Structure 1
C-alpha cells in the first residue's frame, strides 16, 4: 500500500494527499514533521536525508519532493485523469507546479509564520507585509491566465492546478487583506467543488 509521511497542515504534504485523493488511492498516512517529530530519526533520514516531508513509499519505491510525488502518482495511477499524455500540454501545466514552488514559497512562509504560526510577540509586521506584497504581485500572473481558461492545466483540471490550489486555500482563509482577483476567485470556487480538495486541502492551517 502507498504510504505518505507528513503532517496534514503542511502545504507540501497537502499536494501529495490531494493527488492521492483525486486518484482514489488507498494509502497509509503517517504524521511526521513539526509537532509530530519523526523527521530527525535515523529511520526517516534513511528515507529522506533532507529530513523534510512529504515522503512516499510505494511498493518499495521511496520518493521525496512534493512536486515530484504529484507527477509520479499522476504518471503511475492517473492516466486518463491527472496525467496528460501530450508532452506540450503536460509541460504547459507542469510549469505552474515549478512556478508556485519557486515564486510563492518564500513569501508564503513570511505570511503564514508572521500571521498565525509564530507566537504573537514574535511576529514581525514588516516581514508579513513584505510577504503579502510579493505574493499578491505574483498572483497577477495566474489571474491573467485564468481569464482565458478554466484551469491552469488547460481545459480540464490537472497536476498544474495542485500546487497553487494548496497555496490559494491558505491565501483565501488567512486573516489578511487581499486584492481582488476575480478569475482566481472563480477558479478557487471550482476547486472547492472537488471532494478530494475538500478532504485533503481544506483543513486547519495550524
Structure 2
C-alpha cells in the first residue's frame, strides 16, 4: 500500500497519480498543500524537509520526494518492461524523453503560461509575456510533434514513463483559454491519452480552485 501526500490539483501529484493508476497500485492519498495547508508542520517536514509535494511512502520504506525519482522508483518496482525497460539502452531512451518533458515542457508551461493565464487575475494578465512564453513552449512541443509523427507514443508503440512526464501537462495546455499553434501529431497523441481511464481519473480534473478572479 502506497501512502501519498499531495493535493490532486497539483500537476506534479497528477503525474504521480496517473502513474499509480496505470500501474494499478493500491494507495491512500492525503490532501496537503495550497488550501489544505500542512506543508510546514513538523510531521510533514520529517517526511520532506523541503516542504513540497508529492511525497510517497511504500510500506515501511523511507519516504521519497521529488517527482522524477518517485516515478522512476514506481516504474522500477512495479512497471512492466514495456513501461520501464530493464535493458539499460532502452531504459535510457525512455528516461531521456522523461527528463526532456519535465525540464523543457512542464517547467516551460506551468509557471510561464498556466500561472499567468489561470493563477493571475485576468485584469493583471501580461499578454506579451504569455505570448512570448507560448512561442518558446510550442517551439519545444514541435520536437514532440516530430517524434510522434513516427510513433504512437514518445518512445514507440507503448505508453512509457516518458509519456507520464509529457502527457500530464497536455490536459491543461489544451484546456486553458489560449491560442495554440497546429501540432497535429501532438493533438492526436493527446486525444489518445484522454481515452485512458487513469488519465481521465487523475489528470482530467477541474483546476478551478487555482483560479484568481
What secondary structure sits across from 1:29 in the alignment?
A: strand
Q: 1:119 & 1:79 partners in 2: Cα distance?
A: 44
RMSD: 1.4
- Is contact 2:101-2:162 (8 Å) kept? no
Runs of 4+ in 1 over 3 A off after TM superposition: none
Q: How many residues align?
A: 206
Aligned residue number for residue 156 of structure 1: 158
Aligned residue number for residue 32 of structure 1: 32
Give the TM-score normalised by structure 2: 0.91
Deviations 1:14-46 (A, max 9, x none): 111001101111101111111111111111111
- Is contact 2:82-2:158 (8 Å) kept? no
Note the 1:42-121 alignment, pairs <5 A.
42-60=42-60, 61-80=62-81, 82-108=83-109, 109-121=111-123
Aligned residue number for residue 129 of structure 1: 131
Runs of 5+ in structure 2 lacking a partner? Answer: none
Q: 2:81 & 2:98 partners in 1: Cα distance?
A: 19
Runs of 5+ in structure 1 lacking a partner? Answer: none
Aligned residue number for residue 22 of structure 1: 22
Give the TM-score normalised by structure 1: 0.94
Q: 2:98 & 2:52 partners in 1: Cα distance?
A: 19
Q: 2:54 & 2:5 partners in 1: Cα distance?
A: 5
Q: Give the counterpart of 1:199 among 198, 201, 210.
A: 201
